[in-house]
């Protein structure tokens, strides 16, 4: 079984979408860990309620909170195949990036390489897209490297936002697609159908 760790910091709607999709595709992939820098966020609470194994992590170690190197040990012990960042707001430290090369993915709520980088998270992204009067938006799933929102793009899907009246409307339309494509991409990884050829990423049918 393909093993994923989902990193979260907030609402957890993507975690929920992945959890539900994997439950229905029984036997292909499973969530072996939910990791958060905030134990009181709804995403973490969802994980606890659904009996998923949870870990809390912080750059500066405190009681009952793992350091990133301790977390790394746990993730290796669990034979984690893929780390999925689903609304995790902290920068991923190099120790994880080096040990999970091309095995960390992130979902970003805009069409990278536009509207990405430091500070571009949550509503900041949708407000910037709205202000620019972009006519299309949509989520991007990409590999995580040492630079924010910089790794190769794995999947994107566009939505027409030419008629929206508020940034919140953009967020709503994009989120709906996030919930569809994130589980789809995870299942492609589980089926070994994400390949790199000539420097591009392809999802095999
Ligand atoms: C999503 O919009 C995702 O693209 C971004 O953070 C948000 C997380 O939402 N990285 P949720 O916690 O999954 O509801």
Span 2-203 CATH architecture: 3-Layer(aba) Sandwich (3.40)
Catalytic residue among 24, 108, 142, 179: 108
Q: Are the CB atoms for 154 and 187 separated by under 8 Å?
A: no
CB of residue 36 inside a 6 A radius of ligand 1: no
Q: In this structure, which residue's CA is closest to atom 1 in ligand 1?
A: 87
Q: Is ligand 1 within 6 A of the CB of residue 14?
A: yes
Ligand 1 within 6 A of CB of 108: yes
* pLDDT tens digit at each of 205 positions of the chain: 999 999 999 999 999 999 999 987 768 999 999 999 998 999 999 999 999 999 999 987 677 899 999 999 999 999 999 999 999 999 999 999 999 999 999 999 999 999 999 999 999 999 999 999 999 999 999 999 999 999 999 999 999 999 999 999 999 999 999 999 999 999 999 999 999 999 999 999 9
CB of 28 closer than 6 A to ligand 1?
no
- Whether 108 is catalytic is yes
With the most atoms of ligand 1 within 8 angstroms of its CB, the residue from 8, 18, 109 to mutate is 109
Global confidence as pTM? 0.96
**Cα–Cα distance for residue pair 40/42, rounded to 1 Å:** 7
* Alpha-carbon separation of residue 84 from 50, 169, 170, 183 (angstroms): 18, 25, 23, 10
User: Residue 57 has what DSSP assignment?
Assistant: B
């Amino acid at each position: 079984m393909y093993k994923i760790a989902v990193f979260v910091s907030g609402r957890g709607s993507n975690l929920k979408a992945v959890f539900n999709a994997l439950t229905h595709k029984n036997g292909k992939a499973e969530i072996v860990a939910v990791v958060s820098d905030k134990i009181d966020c709804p995403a973490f609470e969802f994980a606890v309620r659904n009996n998923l194994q949870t870990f809390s992590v912080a750059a500066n170690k405190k009681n009952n909170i793992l350091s990133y190197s301790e977390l790394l040990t746990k993730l290796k012990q669990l034979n984690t195949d893929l780390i999925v960042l689903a609304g995790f707001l902290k920068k991923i430290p190099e120790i994880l990036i080096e040990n999970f090369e091309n095995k960390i993915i992130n979902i970003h709520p805009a069409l990278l390489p536009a509207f990405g980088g430091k500070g571009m998270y949550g509503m900041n992204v949708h407000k910037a897209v709205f202000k620019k009067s972009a006519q299309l938006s949509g989520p991007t799933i990409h590999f995580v490297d040492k630079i924010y929102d910089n790794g190769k793009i794995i999947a994107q899907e566009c939505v027409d936002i030419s008629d929206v009246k508020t940034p919140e409307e953009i967020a709503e339309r994009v989120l709906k697609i996030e919930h569809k494509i994130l589980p789809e991409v995870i299942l492609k990884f589980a089926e070994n159908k994400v390949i790199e050829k000539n420097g591009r990423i392809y999802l095999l049918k």
